[in-house]
Amino acid sequence: MAWIKRNLFFVVGGILAIGLLGAAGYYNYKGWSHNTAAFDKLDGIYNTLRDLTSSTDSTGKKKFSPGNDRVNNIEAAKNQERQLREWIRQADDDFQPIAPIPNTGTNAVSSEAFAAALRRTIDQIQHEADAASVTLPPQYNFSFKAQRDLVKFQPGSLGILAEQLGEVKTIAEVLFAARVNSLDGIQRVHVSDDDTTGPQADYFDGHSVTNNLAVLTPYQITFRSFSLEVGEVLADFAASSHEFIVKSVNVQPAGAFAVASPDAAAPPPVSASVVMPAKGGLQTVLNEQLLRVTLVVEVVKLLPKK
């Protein structure tokens, strides 16, 4: 007893240490038991899945559980298949392909057919711009200056050129429908050696991308308008039956940029006055400056179904 009294703190500390070691051992055992039970449960689920995927009937085909009195797995699978097919059908409605010009029904396009269709289409788009009061650069060829006067084209390029012509026409008509003030240009990606002979302002540094579902072809569009028309353009791209993805939007005051033709004088900044109704007193007038807008838009073309 005398020794215990002299070493009281040591004895108390030892008792506490033994108690803590016992508690730690208990918690370790409890955790080990819990882990073992969880592992056994996981192993049972794995074995069930393995049996479901490996079991076969008398013909050698895999057989799966049809369910029970509360769950009908076969009917659930049929419902999910119907939902998936309906989603695919609705998606097809929103991904209508843009017809190439000329549209031969195949990818086979002759040089003569494309040359005639190109000249006819450029004239048509120019008339549509006039009808919509959209100003174009002088003698604008909608990025096909290099091909406008050709009668022979690089082998293998006519199919993709026909696709681009159809897509450029569709994009231009979106701008005309929104009645933008002017179109500075539509730029496309290079697709043939003929493109190297054209003005570089017709092209931009990009390329088409193909994934498991579709081909994405980019275009860069520059136009001038007020904010209302910018909203109309974006809304029309979103509501189109063809699939467009607006990748980027750059908006700056148009007065900071010269006109497209180097021979013409730069116009003064243009503004629009919008009268806002007010309750008595003076009317509020909003002066809006003309904007220069650059969009990068991707045309989405679904790959053929396998």
Report domain extents, the chain: 93-257+287-302
Consecutive H or E run containing 294: strand 291-302
Does residue 271 sit in helix, strand or coil?
strand
Q: What is the pLDDT of residue 28?
A: 52
Distant-in-sequence, close-in-space partners of 237: CB < 8 Å, separation ≥ 6: 174, 244, 246, 297
pTM, two decimal places: 0.65
Looking at the DSSP bridge assignments, the partners of residue 289 are: 271
SS (H, E, C) 124-162: HHHHHHHHCCCECCCCCCCCCHHHHCCCCCCCCCHHHHH
d(CA 221, CA 297): 8
**Per the structure block, which two tokens stand in for 218?**
């980019």
Task: Indicate the residue type of 19.
Answer: G
> What is the number of other CB atoms lying within 10 angstroms of the CB of residue 99?
15
Q: What is the pLDDT of residue 302?
A: 83
What architecture (CATH level 2) is domain 93-257+287-302? 2-Layer Sandwich (3.30)
pLDDT tens for the chain, 306 residues: list them: 665 556 555 555 555 555 545 555 555 555 556 556 666 766 666 666 666 556 566 666 555 566 666 667 777 777 777 776 666 666 666 678 899 999 887 778 899 999 999 999 999 999 999 999 999 999 999 999 999 988 899 888 999 999 999 999 999 999 999 999 999 999 999 998 899 888 999 999 889 999 888 899 999 999 999 999 999 999 999 988 888 999 999 999 987 666 544 333 334 444 454 455 555 555 555 567 899 999 999 999 888 776
